[in-house]
Chains A and B, each alone.
Chain A
Amino acid sequence: MLDEYRTKSYQAHLRPAVDENLIKDNVAIIGIGQTAFSRNSQRDELDLACEAIKNAVDDAGLSISDIDGLEALTLDRVSMPTLIGSLGIPNLRFTSEVSFGGGGACATVMHAAAAVATGLADYVVCYRSLNEASGHRYGRGDGYAEYLSKAPTLHYGYYFPYGFLTPLAWAGMYARRWMHEYGIKLDNTGWYSLVLREYAQKNPNAIFYGKPMTYQDYLDAPMIVEPLRLFDCCVDTDGAVALVVTTADRARDAKQSPAYIMAAAQSIPIETEIQTSYNRPIVSGLPETWYVGQELYRISGLGPGDIDVAELYDPFSFGGIIQLEELGFCGRGEGVDFCEGGDRIRVDGELPLNTAGGLLSEAYIHGFNLIAEAVRQLRGTATSQVAGAETALVTAGPGLPTSGLILRK
């Protein structure tokens, strides 16, 4: 089971031919838009979605009437027909939704790309809108238990009777095993969170803008689910982000410099559960992220050393750190050392990481804000701009069916 992953031997020759990939270099993100990110929007999710989408369409130099496709997560609670009615899209021709929570973030772009590359639509908008902070918090166990009584998700039914109810605890189970196998000390894990907080100090849109953090602050913050402290966790956010996807041909006329898609990939390895894949041979790793990484590198022809900036979906710091290992930026068990002191992941380091502050310090818009930041980096308009950034790798939620993108200038 998971032989390729266990032996790190990706069988590239078994995958579809790269020269038949219709998305590679033929599709681009030409518009990004968002709302303010806050802890209490005092607005509804429909309203937030409308604003972000309008901003993205304006950014692309288009009109709402140009949009003929919409792409969302199944998690999104705004009804698409209602959204269309409010936006004024005259006749939507393409729509689909991607499952698996934040693991679907990059997949929305992949599906939109597939639609425009095959002529099903001209301009597809991917969006995410949520009142996660003020509305319905995923981190609350009582809410999950209520959800269980109706949910068709098999594995949770075995776990909830033990009070194993929240994403943080599910991640903590991976983290504890990872720490045990690689001898990682609890107090050494803070650099990742610290550097992301530094990035947020340059980003006025970040929830933690104006709220710097010292290493001691990290250590002094309460342990929520051991081994994860408060600032190992993402920041519950109200807000929305939208992205406009079209073909490279149409992108040439766009108002903004396009961010071309070099590769897009999804992965659901066998024995995957939604954040609780504990019956795989290795509990201390993220096979889905490894598979997505291998496929992105195979399609793009790039390797880890060719990535100028990475935007890794980090619901928890450890989830981001283990992704560094699975994506080949360092060896397994070396992620904490890679982040030690922070220099490697700062803006002038070897791998500038989550440069707007990531999900820990910018906002938790289910990773759509990471895709927007990757586009800004390639445009040269980021608040912590990586000099000469030409390639960006973006991932989606780790520890569940996931997805990823490599974008280029």
Chain B
Amino acid sequence: MTSSYDPTRDVPRPARWEVLYRSSGPFWDGVASGKLLLQRCASCARWLTPPRPMCPGCQSREHEWVQSTGRGTVHSFATYRHAPHPAFPAPHSVVLVELEEGPRLVSSLVGIAPENIAVGQAVEVVFTHAADDFTLFQFKPAA
């Protein structure tokens, strides 16, 4: 994080909570290396999204990180007609992608205008170097 970073002006950085919620670290480390990693319970195979230390299904603390295919569909979306923040000029769409594995992730789409986004649309992950200090996962319409 650069010293000039200003969350009221610049794209907000992915949050890492080393004290409170350390489980987010491996997820963002994966994104930084071009992988979309999903956390899965090693005991009962339940997907844990967002990542967490204990499985709510069986209370196991053992888990594994599984690379997603990155393929999914648009489950829902919302389009800002007024910019919510200087870093996101309108129109700006946010999508909820349901991955083939099941978990849903909030993200954004590249390569498509907001008015052409539709629920059910097939998408696949891309990785975007968003700033000097971080990478984001986004999605594009599937080939």
Q: Which A residues lie at the B interface, using CB under 8 A?
A: 140-143, 145-146, 148-149, 152, 154-166, 169-170, 172-177, 180, 222-227, 270-271, 276, 278-279, 283
Contacts and interface: CB of A to CB of B under 8 A. Distances in A.
Given A154-B21, A162-B136, A145 B12 contact: yes
27 contacts: A141-B88, A142-B9, A145-B8, A152-B17, A156-B15, A157-B14, A157-B15, A157-B24, A158-B105, A162-B107, A163-B80, A163-B88, A163-B108, A164-B106, A165-B12, A169-B84, A172-B78, A172-B79, A175-B78, A176-B78, A177-B96, A180-B76, A226-B79, A227-B78, A271-B56, A276-B106, A283-B104
A176 B80 CA distance: 13
Nearest to A147: B7
A5 B46 CA distance: 20
Given A276-B106, A278-B106, A223 B81 contact: yes
Nearest to B10: A145
Chain B at the A interface: SS class = loop
Interface string B4-48: 000111011111110011001001000000000000000000000
A276 to B, nearest CB: 7
B130 interface: yes
A154 B85 contact: no
Given A152-B20, A283-B76, A224 B50 contact: no
B7 A149 contact: yes
Contacts of A169: 78, 80, 84, 94
B84 A163 contact: yes
Given A152-B17, A154-B50, A226-B81, A162 B106 contact: yes
B136 A177 contact: no
Interface residues of B, number: 46
Contacts of A161: 11-14, 130, 134, 136
A142 to B, nearest CB: 4
A148 B16 CA distance: 11
B78 A163 contact: no
Contact of A148 (B12, B78, B88): B12
Most buried by B among A146, A170, A226: A226
Given A173-B76, A283-B76, A160 B12 contact: yes
A299 B79 CA distance: 41
B71 to A, nearest CB: 18
B80 A279 contact: no
B77 interface: yes
Contact of A176 (B77, B84, B86, B92): B77
B119 interface: yes
B127 to A, nearest CB: 13
B8 A176 contact: no
Nearest to A180: B119
A122 B139 CA distance: 57
B7 A177 contact: no
Interface in B105-139: 105-108, 114, 119-120, 130, 134, 136
B50 A173 contact: no
Contacts of B92: 163
Nearest to A178: B76
B17 A176 contact: no
A109 B12 CA distance: 37
A176 B27 CA distance: 28
B7 A163 contact: no
B20 A225 contact: no
B96 A278 contact: yes
Most buried by A among B77, B79, B86, B106: B106
B94 A146 contact: no
A226 B94 contact: no
A225 B86 contact: no
Given A142-B85, A145-B8, A276-B106, A154 B24 contact: yes
A285 to B, nearest CB: 13
Given A152-B17, A157-B24, 8 more contacts: A141-B84, A156-B15, A163-B88, A169-B94, A173-B78, A225-B81, A283-B76, A283-B96
B87 A163 contact: yes
A154 B17 contact: yes
A170 B76 CA distance: 11
A24 B136 CA distance: 51
Contacts of B134: 161
A279 B81 contact: no
A155 B17 CA distance: 11
B60 to A, nearest CB: 16
Contacts of A152: 17, 20-21
A165 B12 CA distance: 10
A17 B16 CA distance: 43
Contacts of B78: 164, 169-170, 172-173, 175-176, 225-227
Nearest to A176: B76
Contacts of B105: 158
Most buried by A among B7, B88, B136: B7
A145 B13 CA distance: 9
